[in-house]
Amino acid sequence: MSVLAQSFAMVFDPQVLMVMVLSGAFGLFVGAIPGLTATMATALLVPITFFMEPIAAIAAIVTASAMAIFSGDIPGALLRIPGTPASAAYVEDAYRMTRDGRGQEGLGALLVFSVIGGVFGTIILILASPLLAEVALKFSSFEYFWLVLLGLSAAIFVSPGSVPRGLVALLIGLVAASVGMDNPTAEPRFTFGNVDLLGGISFIPAMIGLFALAEVLRYLVRGHKLGAPLRPSTKGLLRSQIPVIRRYPKQMLRGNITGTLIGALPGAGADIAAWISYAMSKRFSREPEKFGTGHVEGLVEAGASNNAAVSGAWIPALVFGIPGDSITAIVIGVLYIKGMNPGPTIFINQAELINALFIVFLLANLLMIPLGWLAIRASTTILAVPQKLLMPIITLFCLVGAFAITNSVFGIILMLGFGILGFLMEENDIPIAPAILGLVLGPLLEQHFITSMIKSDGHLLAFFERPIAAGLGIFTILVWCAPLVRRILFRRKEALT
Amino acid sequence: MRLGDRALGVLTLLGALALYFASRQFSPLPGQKYGAETLPMVISGLAAAVGIWLILQGWVSERGKPLAMVTDWASEPAAWGRIAAAILLITGFILAVDWLGFTLSSLVLLTALMLLTGARPLPALALSLVTVLVVQFAFGRLLLVPLPRGEFLSLPW
């Protein structure tokens, strides 16, 4: 029997298929609950995989993690509670679509483009792993610094309305990110003697507060004037995406490529990928003014991008045993337990296992269509509950979600503080999304900057001395200068005419 | 209340100053130019620039307008009452949950919030009870989140 046929036989074993369906349902359930993440879903599965065959174990983890990343988008679209920082990039658009009665289109786009992103990432994983992994290893702290800075620059593009108000939001996020002891000299920064703050501000409670609790507070003061989100119908959910695919093929492809490339960089991951893709989508869009008001274009690009990044993260994990994100870090452990030692030789010595893994990947992403459809159908029933009963229930979910991250009341205190802050920010037209971006990327920015400075003995020009770093640096500076140059050109053109 | 650009600019500038003075106590890494103070200092510099930008922008576009505008809901005392009550209820939950336990304190919180949003007492209590039990089962039993059991009543939840 050929190696490929052997691999197919391994995957299409009834036991493996059943494991995939069950772990997929589990991943969807965990991912859709605010406060519980895809990483948690994966970690919870590890003890169960001890009792499984290697392929069943890997299939369980791959399926659960892919489903959990997608289902994190569902509470974002229905209740404005983003499941992951990656889905926070486009939560405003998804939620506005549900409120405007276009939930079917929004949720359908999230599902379909997640699948497309995942499949694209997998195909690249199959075809170009060794090559991409080689490039990814050339990324050192200098390159990451520019990449993070590029991600932060996305704040200017993702914020609708006034640019300085968007920057105020970014600064709020950065200040929150600098709290705690996790800094170069491990000095307690802005902790005010509080022991809980020494560990810094966890972004999930902050995110739940800024988006979801702020929305509850807004409902309490504005009440019925806001209008209730309409329960989306799941009829024709997938068919409604055919015109969207026809309309935005370029965006879809760009999201897929950006996601896979950024995902393949160890430590960058789906969060940066989704934010950069969303910003890129807005920057190159013909209708940038519609972003943030319930526009599907950003969902297409960023939704595809974050799932492509999940597959991309497996590239360095398989080729070198270097985890691309927290999920693959857990996965590498499972691979070792099951006798699959990640590294270049895995492609030669265990070809049938690695092929089976690729097939599992494709199958898991395709399985997302029926299971995701069922999950959307089940979860939309929550919108049948009247607003005056739903808002208190959302509050309870916020409390439990925030608690689950820290396993202490401190998570709830953080969530409440950020909820009030989010409410005040929205009242003052300060967008929320850039604050999340600052909170997530702030620590990475500091870490890569300080590491680079230690390496180069404090010489700032070192950021331009390596070829990839120089390229990324010049690109970032061009991105900053572009609006200014465009304005000058526009004025000159106006003066001429 | 919506702050205009000038007022928000001044507030950002004050924040930048506070951050600058608070960051001066941190030290760089031994033998290095940069350290724990670098990021907060950079943020304070950026905040100062954004503050000045907002003030200048407001100076041009908001001439003759008030520094802040009162939003529509702010003139209704009931709206202020509702938001204050919600914040107080959550604060009460935070203070009581370790003693009362998750089940009881969330039942009280949920029912009170539903009454606040205008639900009738009996359906509010019934729905709260069902929701709390479902959440307790899903998080506490299935996902093993260690929800506080409470010292008040050590019932088997």
| One domain, residues A470 and A367 | no
Tokens of A295: 């526009």
pLDDT above 50 for B110: yes
Residues of B in contact with A226 (CB under 8 A): none
Q: A180: which strand partners?
A: A189
Please answer yes or no on whether B22 and A409 come within 8 Å at the CB atom: no
Task: Tell me if chain B has a CB within 8 Å of the CB of A392.
Answer: yes
A327, A42 Cβ separation under 8 angstroms: yes
What does each of the 497 residues of chain A score in pLDDT, given as a tens digit? 687 888 888 889 899 999 999 999 999 988 887 667 788 788 888 888 888 888 899 899 989 988 888 888 888 888 888 877 778 888 889 998 988 888 888 899 999 999 999 999 999 988 888 777 777 778 888 988 998 888 888 777 777 778 899 999 999 999 999 999 888 888 889 988 888 899 889 888 898 899 889 989 988 988 756 666 677 777 778 888 888 888 999 999 999 999 998 888 876 677 788 888 998 898 888 888 888 888 889 899 999 998 898 888 888 888 877 777 778 888 888 888 888 888 777 777 788 888 898 999 999 999 999 999 999 988 888 877 888 888 899 899 889 888 988 888 999 999 999 999 999 998 898 988 889 888 888 888 999 999 999 999 888 999 999 988 999 999 889 888 877 787 788 888 888 77
Tell me which residue has tokens 């097939």: A359
Enumerate residues 6+ apart whose C-beta is below 8 A from A484. Answer: none
* Number of folded domains that form chain A: 2
Tokens of B3: 């702050």
| One domain, residues A483 and A386 | no
The mean pLDDT value of chain B amounts to: 88
Chain B nearest CA to A73, separation (Å): 20
Chain B nearest CA to A409, separation (Å): 6
| One domain, residues A393 and A472 | no
Residues of A in contact with B53 (CB under 8 A): 164, 167
When CB atoms are compared, the residue of B43, B93, B148 closest to A174 is B43
**Residue A352: per-residue pLDDT:** 83
A266, A136 Cβ separation under 8 angstroms: yes
Please answer yes or no on whether B53 and A453 come within 8 Å at the CB atom: no
How far is the C-alpha of A306 from the C-alpha of A304, rounded, in Å?
6
Tokens of A343: 């590294």
Please answer yes or no on whether B36 and A185 come within 8 Å at the CB atom: yes
| One domain, residues A197 and A326 | yes
Residues of B in contact with A208 (CB under 8 A): none
Q: Which tens digit of pLDDT belongs to each residue from A331-382?
A: 888 888 888 888 777 777 788 888 898 999 999 999 999 999 999 988 888 8
Please answer yes or no on whether B54 and A396 come within 8 Å at the CB atom: no
Residues of A in contact with B26 (CB under 8 A): 183, 185, 187, 189
User: Counting one residue from A and one from B, how many pairs have CB atoms under 8 Å apart?
Assistant: 169
Closest C-alpha among A481, A455, A483 to residue A469: A455
Chain A nearest CA to B8, separation (Å): 9
* Residue in chain B lying closest to A44 (CA): B143
Tokens of A276: 């950069």
Task: Tell me if chain B has a CB within 8 Å of the CB of A449.
Answer: yes
pLDDT above 60 for B157: no
Residues of A in contact with B93 (CB under 8 A): 399, 412
Task: Tell me if chain B has a CB within 8 Å of the CB of A181.
Answer: no
Chain B nearest CA to A361, separation (Å): 26
CA distance readout (Å), A139 to A55, A127, A135, A142, A470: 32, 21, 7, 8, 12
Please answer yes or no on whether A450 and B117 come within 8 Å at the CB atom: no
pLDDT above 80 for B79: yes
Tell me which residue has tokens 């985890």: A323
Q: Which tens digit of pLDDT belongs to each residue from A388-430?
A: 888 899 899 889 888 988 888 999 999 999 999 999 998 898 9
Closest C-alpha among A308, A466, A411, A228 to residue B146: A411
Chain B nearest CA to A180, separation (Å): 11
How far is the C-alpha of A212 from the C-alpha of A219, rounded, in Å?
11
Residues of A in contact with B8 (CB under 8 A): 165, 168, 428
How far is the C-alpha of B37 from the C-alpha of A441, rounded, in Å?
17
* Residue in chain A lying closest to B58 (CA): A164
How far is the C-alpha of A358 from the C-alpha of A59, rounded, in Å?
10
- Taking chain A, what is the end-to-end CA distance rounded to the nearest angstrom? 74
When CB atoms are compared, the residue of B12, B86, B131 closest to A220 is B86
| One domain, residues A202 and A61 | yes
Tell me which residue has tokens 């031994």: B30
A residues 38-77 closer than 8 Å to B (CB): 44
When CB atoms are compared, the residue of A44, A175, A396 closest to B131 is A396
**Residue B48: per-residue pLDDT:** 97
CA distance readout (Å), A148 to A145, A269, A345, A402, B53: 5, 11, 32, 26, 24
| One domain, residues A64 and A212 | yes
Residues of B in contact with A175 (CB under 8 A): 19, 40, 43
**Residue B154: per-residue pLDDT:** 56
Q: What is the pTM of this model?
A: 0.82
Specify the 3-state DSSP secondary structure of B68.
strand
Per-residue pLDDT, averaged over B3-21, amounts to: 94
Please answer yes or no on whether B5 and A391 come within 8 Å at the CB atom: no
When CB atoms are compared, the residue of A165, A168, A395 closest to B113 is A395
* Residue in chain A lying closest to B146 (CA): A407
Chain B nearest CA to A393, separation (Å): 7
Task: Tell me if chain B has a CB within 8 Å of the CB of A374.
Answer: no
CA distance readout (Å), A456 to A465, B31, B32, B51: 10, 13, 10, 33
The boundaries of the domain holding residue A476 are 466-497
When CB atoms are compared, the residue of A387, A400, A449 closest to B139 is A400
Tokens of A101: 């009665």
Tokens of A59: 């299939």
Residues of A in contact with B2 (CB under 8 A): 427-429
Chain A nearest CA to B155, separation (Å): 20
A208, A402 Cβ separation under 8 angstroms: yes
When CB atoms are compared, the residue of A171, A404, A428 closest to B139 is A404
Domain ranges of chain B: 2-69, 76-142
A294, A104 Cβ separation under 8 angstroms: no
How far is the C-alpha of A34 from the C-alpha of A209, rounded, in Å?
11
